[in-house]
Amino acid sequence: MLSLLRVIVFPLLLLVPNYAVLSHFIVETLPGFNGKLPFKLETGYVGVGEEEKVQLYYYFVESERDPENDPLMLWLTGGPGCSGLSSFVYEIGPLTFDYANSIGDFPKLELKSNSWTKVANIIFIDQPAGSGYSYAKTSEAYNFNDTLAVALTYEFLRKWLMDHPEFLKNPLYVSGDSYSGIFVALLTRRIYDGIEVGEKPRVNIKGYIQGNALTDHYIDFNGRVIYAHRMGLISDKIYQSTKANCNGNYAEVDPNNVSCLNDLQRVDRCLKNIRRAHILEPWCDLPFLMSILKETPANARSLFPIEGPWCREKNYIYSYVWANDKAVKKALNVREGTTLEWVRCNDSMHYRGKERTESYVYDVKSVIDDHRHLISKSCRALIYSGDHDMVVPHSSTEEWIDSLKLPITDDWEPWFVDGQVAGYKVKYSQNDYEMTYATVKGGGHTAPEYKPEQCLAMVDRWFSGYPL
């Protein structure tokens, strides 16, 4: 059965003309922002795959400091199926929504003082097809798995660099968060392997960055019960019983182990109304909020500000309204007829713990060996985790890092921003490989959305080679 996404979109594409393999435009103004953009924004498409049937959309922002010499980041948003626009406005990009002053039915934009574009050039990509404004020309081309997604992203990068040769010399860092931890490790390895066999253009890769990143399905998800106990969300009694009855295995449970299943139900009841992306924040139901938005006629509402107690999911509604506006799509040079509706994360691909969906197969279960492979390269890695994230707990990240058996060069200690503890860090190195791991105190899933000042300081220091 075709996914709903493909059923809706593919007929529209019959009306879409053939486009060049790569096209891009400079965006000088955006609806909701007052005046010209004070940074250089380029948007465009890169055709990839067989006959370029997949058209990947991107946002590129030049560094606001020194674009000729600052690092180039390829940013992969998680999901899979989440738009690069989500990272652009909610995490590390130069704009966000002006929640305080958005009144009426259209959100306003404001500059973000802690954007990572202060120190780096960043390509935000909508990938795979069906994410954000990216699309495919045939229904079959919407079928993806992890391996194919990485292969087409690699093709995207090479084509983008050939079209932007002035950035070939900039140090490149493959970057991303959440589910894209799978993509980041695989793509980084693919780039290094390509260099060794002489693939062109030669990519000036220096390393990778990943935050709150899925790395190993078993370790990351098994660690949720352990994390919940460490944070006081389940009692010692419940934890000890669950640990004993499940033999410490909470992610791959024997369906005949009734005692384990009963204990895990008790754990689930304790965690049911906890916001897993940040365990201290209020929980609310985004699908319910979106249903209210869709059921209210546009000409009969004054949507903003959104009424009721605050929860972070309400912030996400702003992006749905903004990104689906016709004037916004025109300003961003989105091709007409290619996407019926922009969504922050496409549910037809988004990982929910199963083996596959109608259009996506999660075929890579662990990339620990890919990290281990990179230890033999001249490579730097920055791994960070918000310490209030229960989606991919920091304790799980620390477990797989420990499995690499890397020598510690700078042991666990706090790092600071403005004289306050911003988190804890540890540094590893072996030959020409170097990894810095940092927790972000008070950060959620993912850390820059919750602690933007601290995360900008972290990445700026790391790029510069300074201790965090």
User: Tell me, what CATH number does 206's domain have?
Assistant: 3.40.50.1820
Give backbone dihedrals phi and psi of 267, rounded to 5 degrees, phi first.
-60, -45
Could you tell me the CA-to-CA distances from 380 to 147, 188, 205, 427, 468 in Å, in that order? 23, 11, 10, 11, 14
Q: Is 292 domain-assigned?
A: no
Kindly state whether residue 124 falls inside one of the protein's structural domains: yes
270-308 as b/e: b if 16+ CB within 10 A: ebeebbbbbbebeeeebeebbeeeeeeeeeeeebbebee
Contact criterion met (CB below 8 Å) for 422 and 82: no
Domain limits for position 34: 4-217+363-464
Distance of CA 217 to the CA centre of its chain: 17
The CA R_g of the chain, rounded to the nearest whole Å, is 22
Domain count, the chain: 1
Q: How far apart are CA 459 and CA 256, in angstroms?
A: 47
Identify the pLDDT of residue 310. 86
Q: Which residues of the chain have pLDDT under 70?
A: 1-21, 286, 289-290, 292-302
What's the first-to-final CA gap in the chain, in angstroms? 50
373 is catalytic: no
**87 within some domain:** yes
| Nearest 10 degrees: Cα torsion 91, 131, 324, 326 | 110
Under 8 Å CB-to-CB from 252, ≥6 apart: which residues? 218, 222
Cβ atoms within 10 Å, residue 75: 27
Of the candidates 262, 207, 178, the one whose C-alpha atom is nearest the C-alpha of residue 377 is 207
What is the three-class DSSP state of 201? coil
Q: Please indicate whether residue 278 is annotated as part of the active site.
A: no
Q: Which helix (H) or strand (E) holds 24?
A: strand 22-27
Residue of 134, 178, 319, 396 marked catalytic: 178
Catalytic annotation, pick one of 229, 278, 350, 445: 445
**Residue among 389, 394, 395, 396 flagged as catalytic:** 389
Active site residue 376: no
Per the domain annotation, does 185 fall within a domain? yes
Furthest-apart CA atoms within the chain: distance in Å: 64
* pLDDT value at residue 245: 97
pLDDT of residue 81: 94
pLDDT at 294 (0 to 100): 64
Question: Is 450 within the bounds of a domain?
Answer: yes
User: Is position 282 within any domain?
Assistant: no
Percent of the chain with pLDDT over 90: 83
The DSSP element (H or E) to which 46 belongs, if any, is strand 41-48
Look up residue 309 and give its amino acid: P
Residue 286 is assigned to a structural domain of this protein: no
pLDDT score of 64: 97
